[in-house]
Structure 1
Amino acid sequence: MVKPTILARRTKPIHIGLSAGTFDTPNHGLGEFTHQFGRIANDLAPRLLEESNIHVSVYLRSRLHGVFGDNLRYLPLRPHHKRFNWSMRRFDLWHTLNQHVLHLPPPRAGVRMATVFDLNYAYGPEGPHQAAEAAKIERLLARTDHAATPSHFVAQDVARRTAYTGPMSVIHIGAQSLLNTRQERPPLPENIPPFYFHLSRMAESKNISALLDLAAHAGSMQFVFGGPDGAEARAAMEQARRRNISNIVFLLDLSDAQKAWLYGHCVGFLFPSLCEGFGLPPLEAMHFGKPVFLSRLTSLPEVGGDAAFYFDSFAPEAMQATIQAGCRQHEQDPQRPSYIMRHASSFNWQQCVSSYFDLYKKILGLAT
């Protein structure tokens, strides 16, 4: 462990706690954020300690201690922390890394910060689930001194839909580039024609129904749908089977090497999601210079900018026309792939996590 410099030792130690909740896998958006945040925080920790006497701790399941590296202090997450946390550890700043972390900060936590990724529940059907999710967000924000969001859209949503009136910062998250990752062809038919790729957990909020309708309508187009194995993906597969949609290949639990192959070999990437706090897969596809097709809803126009094409209708014939016109435009402009790649590279994890630590210092009145 690096020791503080003499100058840093003259200053009071600053303790920052990161609450990762029940993080287990990076195979979804929130898991990817926690994975990248922990990895880069571990890289930054020696310099923070040496220069500013800042000590970084992370609350995490005991079996995952050490997963981000050896420069962080790991503290055990206990089930009872959802009800009470009697730890007497002092933290100058406590950061709940996402709104689904239900574990409470210890009583001696100073500034309490939380990142709110989305209010997607507000865009679903009204009922007990929506009310429960809204109440959970309100409880989190009631004990939060400073909120952060991954997009201006989510910041506006929080201001409009919750009782929170405190300070709020927008820090765009990153998107990993798999461009230089070793590629591995996933289990696809040998003679598969040129295909369009979609990657998500295939929930209704991802507009999977519109994509199934598109595939049923456009029998001449080939699709590959990828995502984590789960009830939602299995339901989409069952729908395709019952409807006899034969131009979709479903691939579950893809590795990074397999995703890299699919991004690199697809004709275009489709992501007509109905609600997103940010949207990582479109940027991952953009790192390969691929044409990306998005909905105009929630945060996606903020993420895609003018480097993406947009669906103005989810009618299958309209979606097919948008894809065909966008691909023609992409093919006719030799500069477009490099422009798309530059756009994607402006969202990077190092900048994201460094911005969070700069924000911590600003909140605590430390020089940056």
Structure 2
Amino acid sequence: MRKTERKKVLIDLSYLKHPNCGFGQIAINYSKLFAALSVEDLHFIYLLPKGYQDFYGNNVTCVPIKHRRINRWLPFTLPKVDLWHSVNQFNKLYRKIPQFILTIHDLNFLFEHQGRKKQIFLKKIQQKIDKATIITTISHYVANEIKKYTNLNGKEIRVIYNGVERIDQQEGKQPTFATGRPFFFTIGEMRTKKNFHLLVDVMKSFPEYDLYICGKDSFHYADEIRTQIKEKAVNNVFVTGMIEQTEKIWLYRNCKAFLFPSRGEGFGLPVIEAMQFGKAVFISNYTCLPEICNGFAFIWEKLEPEAMAESIRKNLPLFYEQKERIAQMKEHAYSFSYEKHIKAYIDLYHELLSSE
């Protein structure tokens, strides 16, 4: 196929300007990985935040978001393409074209909001589904939630697991807040759904360990946890705020266990990252986490601090003696490769474009 006949595939990378959040990391990896491919019949158009244009090679054209409000109300100002891929459910720009892929990572708003606000979010996601040719999502759990709470109108929903960057061989840097004592680790935006507050009481049972809770802390929930730590005089729990990638790598590499009691995940990337390092992982029995961990994590059946602490006390001492199981766990973590993930989307692009 001649170059002039290449189909144009737009990938909305609006979240590139948020490099320290999950969607930002996905956008960064997409920008590198799609550009590195040599796909004879496809030309990629990156929709990027203003000021984030770069040269990604001859197979990519970068289009800046000139003005989000203008682009939304005057969609003809956006590029005309053959296929549009909105890589998460929060991307707001769209131009009517023959093929539209909508990737939905979660429906966490169903549990974070109540009443009218929840219905507003549900209406917005339904409007996007109505425009889509096909819906993709990142776990079977989320796929089932979409089927339960929205009307697909006969449209297909396909599960394509997230790619997870291999970080276990990258260099780390010790954070300044690290005390030098043995520690547990957890990371994520400090939102109520993460259940980090439960870990404060858990850590009363482990005075010989510290716990570092890392992630964006500009939410009221973070203040609640800090208040809880102070009022209960728990001196071995630290809310650190956002950390650098190198610091995150050091914490994974050196922690004794990774604790993740979340009730609101679409995929749960941190648990797979922790498994890359061969760490003991403890998770809640909610959302996609048991599915993604595939039997390699210790599951807290009850999110009660005493029972959670007992599970850690019982399982942690024996975990690191199971060398073969740790090797299997690492292989499971490595299976979530970006190569597999990107190939699945390239195959889907070809499938949709060949059906026109």
CA gap of 1:265–1:159, structure 2 versus 1, over 3 A, is same
Contact 1:201 1:233 in 2 (8 A): no
For the pair 1:27 / 2:20, whether they are aligned, the reply is yes
Q: Which of 235, 246, 249 is the equivalent residue of 1:260? A: 249
Listed one character per residue, the Cα deviations across residues 236-285 of structure 1 (whole Å, up to 9, x for unaligned) are: 33432333221112322211211111111100101111011001101111
Partner of 1:18: 11
Q: Secondary structure at the match of 1:91?
A: coil
Alpha-carbon offset, residue 229 of structure 1:
4.2
Alpha-carbon offset, residue 36 of structure 1:
1.3
For 1:145, the aligned partner's letter is: T
CA gap of 1:237–1:70, structure 2 versus 1, over 3 A, is farther
Q: Which of 271, 288, 292 is the equivalent residue of 2:260? A: 271
Q: Which runs of 5 or more residues in structure 2 are unaligned?
A: none
Partner of 2:129: 141
Partner of 2:81: 91
Correspondence 1:308-347 to 2 at 5 A: 308-347=297-336
Partner of 1:4: none
CA gap of 1:200–1:237, structure 2 versus 1, over 3 A, is same
Alpha-carbon offset, residue 331 of structure 1:
2.7
Q: Secondary structure at the match of 1:169?
A: strand
My pick for the range that moved more, 79-88 or 113-122, is: 79-88
For the pair 1:244 / 2:209, whether they are aligned, the reply is no
Q: Secondary structure at the match of 2:18?
A: coil
Listed one character per residue, the Cα deviations across residues 282-321 of structure 1 (whole Å, up to 9, x for unaligned) are: 1111100001111111111111011111001111110011
Q: Secondary structure at the match of 1:306?
A: coil
For the pair 1:8 / 2:35, whether they are aligned, the reply is no
CA gap of 1:140–1:173, structure 2 versus 1, over 3 A, is same
Alpha-carbon offset, residue 207 of structure 1:
0.9
CA gap of 1:65–1:298, structure 2 versus 1, over 3 A, is same
Contact 2:15 2:24 in 1 (8 A): no
Contact 1:21 1:102 in 2 (8 A): no
Partner of 1:131: 119
Q: Which of 86, 93, 102 is the equivalent residue of 2:92? A: 102
Q: Distance in 1 between matches of 2:18 and 2:222?
A: 17
Q: Distance in 1 between matches of 2:300 and 2:132?
A: 37
My pick for the range that moved more, 338-347 or 222-231, is: 222-231
TM-score normalised by the chain length of structure 2: 0.92
For 1:340, the aligned partner's letter is: M
Correspondence 1:141-220 to 2 at 5 A: 141-165=129-153, 166-190=155-179, 192-216=180-204, 218-220=206-208
Partner of 1:41: 34
TM-score normalised by the chain length of structure 1: 0.89
Paired-residue identity, % = 27
CA gap of 1:348–1:319, structure 2 versus 1, over 3 A, is same
Listed one character per residue, the Cα deviations across residues 22-45 of structure 1 (whole Å, up to 9, x for unaligned) are: 43123122222222122211111x
Partner of 1:365: 354
My pick for the range that moved more, 141-150 or 11-20, is: 11-20
Q: Distance in 1 between matches of 2:192 and 2:78?
A: 43
Q: Which of 275, 280, 284 is the equivalent residue of 1:291? A: 280
Q: Secondary structure at the match of 1:148?
A: strand
For 1:200, the aligned partner's letter is: G
For 1:122, the aligned partner's letter is: L
